[in-house]
Structures are given as C-alpha cells and as structure tokens.
C-alpha cells in the first residue's frame, strides 16, 4: 500500500466520521458521493466551533498553566486546485479557560484575571482574529502548509506565520496546527512582563505563549 493511497484512505475515514451523520446524530446510511476532480469543490468552508479548539500554555519562574479557547463562526476558502487559500479565524476571547487548576475558586480567579484589563480585556475586545494572507507549501515532515497571516488581539494587528497540516476532502477540511509561540507584549499585554518590569522576581510572567490548534470545517 503506497503512501498516496494511505493518505486518501485517511481522508475518506475523516469524511465518514464527521460529515456523514443524519440530523438526529446517528450515522447516515446514504453512501458518500466523492467528486473525482478538485475543481468541483465549493470555494467556501465553514468552521465548526464545537469541533475546533485552541490550546495555550503560559509560564512563569514558578511553573506553568495551560488552557483552551474556542472559535466563533469562521470561514475558510480554497482555490481552484483545491488547496487552502484564505480565510478568517474568529476567536472567542470570552471562552478563555484554565485546564490545570482543580480548586474551583482559584480557577475562577485565574480566568477572571485573564479576561480582565491585566490581560485580554474581553469586555472591550471579545473577539480576536487571524486572517490568512497567503499559503505556500511546507517541506516540513509534520506539516504541508506555511500560512502567513495577521493576528489581531485587542485591536492590535501583527503579522504571524504558522505551519499547518491541512487535509481537504470533498466536504471536510481538517487543519492541525502544531505548537507555535507568540510574544504577548506585541499585542500590548504587558502585565508582569519581564520586558517591561525589571524587579518582579518570581512574580513575573513569561512573555511567550505556546499555542496549538485543531480546526474542523465543512463545505458550505
């Protein structure tokens, strides 16, 4: 079994699992009708917020914390060759959640601080955005696309390049984005930053945030 056949089989399994469900949530008995030509794809895909997720990891001299974020409705586009070509990811900043604090009160305090003016000020900036500007092929063994885009947080827009593994079938797009790092101070998030403050010792919070994503979208 050659590699191309294995890849095609994997994509077919994804289609069967995610897109062939009836309205009651049970698997559909209708067969999958696959298109033979990529040019028959629609140009638009809609991100599924409930099946997509962002994971983040922050750190300080005393340890780390990790959590998640959810997406809002977002759209992605492919070109005539069937490759990812553009789109906008809308990120719901009000969904910032911590995943490693077990005490309910401590967890609540942590999340409220993240949502406050100290960090993401979600009452004023409830949505962040990543807008795709260009997509080129990646020669990395774990990814197949280099995505150049613009990340907007708190109304500050900065260029950002990430690598991704993109699988596109007739009705479904699955994007896995392995870990990348952003510097929060580039978006004006300076709370307890070692760049901004020099005497915080163990109270400082590292500027780097590690992020990875899983994105699932269906053809419109």
Band the pLDDT of 138: cuts 50, 70, 90: very high
Tell me the pLDDT band of 63, cut-offs 50, 70 and 90: very high
Q: Which domains does the chain have, with CATH numbers?
A: 43-219 (2.40.128.110)
With 0-12 / 13-18 / 19 or more C-beta atoms within 10 angstroms meaning exposed / middle / buried, residue 17 is exposed
User: 103: which residues sit within 8 A by CB, 6+ positions away?
Assistant: none
User: Of 32-36, 80-84, 131-135, 193-197, where does mean pLDDT reach its minimum?
Assistant: 32-36
Mean pLDDT of 33-46: 51
DSSP state, residue 32: P
Q: How many residues does the chain have?
A: 220
**Comparing 56 with 31, which gets the higher pLDDT?**
56
Q: What's the predicted TM-score (pTM) here?
A: 0.80
Higher pLDDT, 92 or 199: 92
Per-residue pLDDT, 188: 96
Phi, psi of 201 (to 5 degrees): 55, -125
Residue owning tokens 């000020």: 121
Q: How buried is 93 (Cβ within 10 angstroms: 0-12 exposed, 13-18 middle, 19+ buried)? A: buried
Euclidean distance between CA atoms 51 and 208, whole angstroms: 26
């Amino acid at each position: 079994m050659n590699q191309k056949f294995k890849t095609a089989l994997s994509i077919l399994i994804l289609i069967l699992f995610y897109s062939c469900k009836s309205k009651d949530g049970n698997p559909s008995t209708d067969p999958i009708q696959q298109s033979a030509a990529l040019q028959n794809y629609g140009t638009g895909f809609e991100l599924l917020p409930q099946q997509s997720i962002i994971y983040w990891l922050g750190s300080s001299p005393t340890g780390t914390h990790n959590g998640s974020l959810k997406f809002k409705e977002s759209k992605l586009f492919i070109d005539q060759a069937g490759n990812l070509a553009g789109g906008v990811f809308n990120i719901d900043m009000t969904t910032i959640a911590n995943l490693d604090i077990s005490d309910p009160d401590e967890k609540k305090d942590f999340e409220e601080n993240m949502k406050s003016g100290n960090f993401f000020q979600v009452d004023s900036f409830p949505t962040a955005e990543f807008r795709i500007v260009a997509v080129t092929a990646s020669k990395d063994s774990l990814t197949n696309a280099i995505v150049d885009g613009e990340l907007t947080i708190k109304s500050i827009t900065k260029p950002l390049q990430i690598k991704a593994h993109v699988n596109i079938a007739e009705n479904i797009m699955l994007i896995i984005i392995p870990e990348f790092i952003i510097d929060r101070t580039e978006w004006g998030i300076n709370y307890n930053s070692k760049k901004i403050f020099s005497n915080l010792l163990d109270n400082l919070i590292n500027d780097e945030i590690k992020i990875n994503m899983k994105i699932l979208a269906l053809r419109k």
